[in-house]
Amino acid sequence: MSILLVEKKGSLLEKDSIDTAREILDSIGVKLLWFDSLGAKSSCFRISTKSGDILVDPGAAIMQPSYPLTREEKYELRRRAVEYIKPFLEKSKIVVITHYHYDHYMLPRDRDIGDTPYQGKLLVVKNPNTFINLSQWKRSRVFLSMLLERENMSLRDITIEPSQLDCSDPVDELEVARESRRKYQNRDWEKLLSNGRKWFQRLCRTWSRSEWVREVDLPSNTRVVWGDSRELVLGDTTIRILEPWFHGGEYERTGWVTPLLVEKSSKKLFYSSDLMGPVVEDYAVYIVREKPDILILDGPPTYLFPYMVGRVDIERAISNLEFIIENNPQLIVYDHHLLREKKWREYISDILRIAERQGVVLATAAEILGRKPLIDTL
């Protein structure tokens, strides 16, 4: 597949804006590595600091069946993504993994990255014991088991009894979302929230009764710590990893993610991980309050509409981004879930107009890298 320059009419970026976007990212030491607009599921970038490189979410996965390529082409794009990310992984000092979906991390045994991709690094990963759904609970333990096997250890070596856990319902704290939901009278919110609350309570019982795993320093000088609510300071760069936020709307069954804030050179970047918009209004309010200059946002998964994602959550995600844009960040990298189907521009047509009116640079990762989004060429 050839690399295409941004030429298509209606592209998010004019050619003159590419340099501006790159300069803004350079000012905070961020390099975009691979995102969905390049043809494989990923949301990976590097942060350079005076104390070493930090790699965020080094994962890659093949596109869903509805993506208009053959299975072989999808696997080839995934291989290319891994091949491109690999040297940055090898060079990095710190690796941050915001949650355990395969487009955000790679297993130590992944045949495309070699035997010891994480060796000798500080791994700051999503806490595998709390605010995690059952699928990611299991995946986190597979990931840790593979790390330990290379050190002649097993998961039993880091297993501990569960700690006392505060199972306060996080939805109770979402006051802005509670007010916003009143606008959407066509949806049975009480039933959805009641079912979600039961799901959350079942998970809390699992977290409280199951064996936990602890943070660990390994013989190879690899250190594994939990990222939730942690701050990292590396010379001129501060990274705040937030507490777990829903992977989408309230009680989203795919679990939680840990967004992060990067501060460097009087600039601030917010990375959403997988907030799917954000959908939750309180998250948008938090983002605006932090006043980031740069945002890397994942956008709503419109390719799942109407079967797995409803119109209301897409409307909420778009409304929240309009609110964010009106507060004038410099740059929004808008990618990931949004770039998985051909009609993505139709969903965000109002967003494009608002960004242009506000003078906010809004672009996919592919465009900032000098390419067309692959989905636009198919």
pLDDT digits (tens, 9 = 90+) for 276-295: 999 999 999 999 999 999 99
In a domain, 298, yes or no: yes
Quick: pLDDT tens for 211-229: 999 999 999 999 999 999 9
Task: Name the 3-class secondary structure at 325.
Answer: helix
Q: What pLDDT sits at residue 15? A: 65
| 11 confidence band (pLDDT: 50, 70, 90) | very low
Query: Could you tell me what percent of the chain has a pLDDT over 70?
Result: 95
Q: What pLDDT sits at residue 182? A: 84
Q: What pLDDT sits at residue 8? A: 37
In a domain, 276, yes or no: yes
In a domain, 253, yes or no: yes
CA–CA gap between residue 301 and residue 308 (Å, rounded): 9
Handedness of CA 64, 65, 69, 75 (dihedral sign): positive
CA–CA gap between residue 333 and residue 363 (Å, rounded): 5
**Rounded to 5°, angle at Cα 350 from 349 and 352:** 65
Mean pLDDT of the chain: 93
Asked whether the beta carbons of 142 and 173 are under 8 A apart, the reply is: no
In a domain, 350, yes or no: yes
Give the contacts of 334 (CB within 8 A, at least 6 positions apart).
Answer: 12, 297, 299, 321, 348, 351, 362, 363, 364
The answer, yes or no, to whether residue 6 has pLDDT greater than 70, is: no
In a domain, 201, yes or no: yes
Between 88 and 185, the higher pLDDT residue: 88
Average pLDDT over residues 145-174: 95
In a domain, 343, yes or no: yes
Q: What pLDDT sits at residue 77? A: 97
The answer, yes or no, to whether residue 181 has pLDDT greater than 60, is: yes
In a domain, 345, yes or no: yes
Asked whether the beta carbons of 282 and 178 are under 8 A apart, the reply is: no
Quick: pLDDT tens for 113-131: 776 789 999 999 999 999 9
Give the contacts of 315 (CB within 8 A, at least 6 positions apart).
Answer: 184
| 4 confidence band (pLDDT: 50, 70, 90) | very low
In a domain, 4, yes or no: no
Asked whether the beta carbons of 31 and 45 are under 8 A apart, the reply is: yes
- What's the length of the chain? 378
CA–CA gap between residue 136 and residue 99 (Å, rounded): 8
Report CA 238 to chain centroid distance, whole Å: 19
Range of the domain at 150: 15-377
Residue 231 sits in a domain whose CATH number is: 3.60.15.10
Count of domains observed in the chain? 1
